[in-house]
Structure 1
Amino acid sequence: MASGVTGLLLRSGCFPLLAVEFLRAYLSRRGYRGTAINNKEPRVNDRIRVPKVRLVGPGGEQVGVVKTEDALRVAVEANLDLVEVAPNSNPPVAKLMDYGKYKYESAQKERAARRNRSNAQLKSIRIGMKIDQNDYNTKKSQAERFLNGGDKVKFDLRFRGREQSRPQLGVELLNGLAEDLAEVSTVESAPRAEGRNMSMVLAPIRKKTEAKSDQRRRREAERETRRQQGAERAKRQQENARANAEARSQQ
């Protein structure tokens, strides 16, 4: 891909002012106009007004410092967008990408992250220092069920009487539970004393079933992206044809 981008740049030659303005008009009609300076979104296509940029290809390859109008021409010929990814660099860094696809995938990831945060709950399990083996196994199985369901588990250990003078025994008990549940969880909050109580929080480890669900969602998102890209490509071709006709009429 690097050679393809570089080849387009080598063929670009000198850009007359009319051609530059034509490119900016074409790219602005694509709908990805960038944003105001105080917005978090990057400047895109015709909103990039610096004379030169350090161009990065769509695969991450370093092309080098080029004139912005040359980079815009490459974006048009490759049916991609020119996105300013590092505006504070000298010169600013701009990358060739499909900005619509990038925004769509970013929104999908953010929605998935919010959904996971909202669905997760903190389940509390109380135990005592004088817990027998049967009760220990019951509490462990209960915690394992919660963790496999995607919830966090907080173990609350209460000291009674003289037990409070030997907190290390409580640490050993909670650490033992963490070791027994290591296949399905990680320690989010280590054993910590809270007055007459001691607590520990375990977080679930992602399961294979969750990974498969994520893969299925990604495939569905990719299909939707391809469908949108096809519609956008057809629209671009129509706009390109109109822009070419306008440019010819002005000559």
Structure 2
Amino acid sequence: MHERPTGGIASFNSSVAHPARVYNAWLGGRDNYPADQEAAELAAAANPQIVPAVRANRAFLGRAVRELAGKAGIRQFLDIGTGIPTADNTHEVAQRVDPGARVVYVDNDPIVLAHARALLVSTREGATDYLEADLRDVDRILTAAQETLDLSQPVGLMLVAILQYVPDADDPHDIARRLIERLAPGSHLVLSHPAADIGAEQVAASMRVYNERAADHAGATPRTHDEITRFFDGTDLLDPGVVELPEWHPDPADAAAPGALPMWCGVGRKP
């Protein structure tokens, strides 16, 4: 695995909350700091469904990767916004299906980079690589990914709980469109995103608390079902469409979540 830092990435700062570390705190991990813990606790107090949603989101990632690596025959994945490694990371799930699967992880937090280098270890037959970059830098991500992935062949593009950190002013729909356009036919988009229209008052309150404590670049924006469905433009949505997390190909082994979870998710195939 190779680290390739790029200019323009925010330097490490433990005094403000960062998405990957807050997510780690919600999952019960230890790779976070007091500022992250405070943001995680206050946001969860404003919306108690956050923690069940984060866990359900992780389960969705696993189900989606198994579906792509199994039924769809996808053998390479580009996981943008990977977060701090935990159980069942993308390459682990994919390489259980095919040990030769290849994965490139992308994140913009030096803490994530340090853990990725140590923990995201591929099978001998496959490959994992790590790129320190911002989601907005589409050209750089795709150019660097080609050192590990063959973009002339289908790719599983993972945008799992990441696009909420791109404000409307930076046109997140255009970012998703440009990524999809550069991938081969047969590629799949796996996406989840906080909902603005499930438990709207609680979601707004939790986002407000989080944004007050987050790094300047890391403010979060929940979006509606229609706005999230637009991210799949240029793909054919797989059944059951854009749904709540537990409704996408549910697995009886996954723990049942109480009540409605404030996130939408889906998978689309590029024709």
Question: Which category of TM-score, normalised to the shorter sequence, fits these structures?
Answer: under 0.3
Q: Tell which has more relative contact order, 1 or 2 (C-alpha 8 A, sep 6+).
A: 2
User: Normalising by structure 2, what TM-score?
Assistant: 0.24
Larger Rg computed on CA atoms: 1
- Bigger fraction of residues in helix: 1
Normalising by structure 1, we get a TM-score of: 0.25
**Larger strand percent:** 1
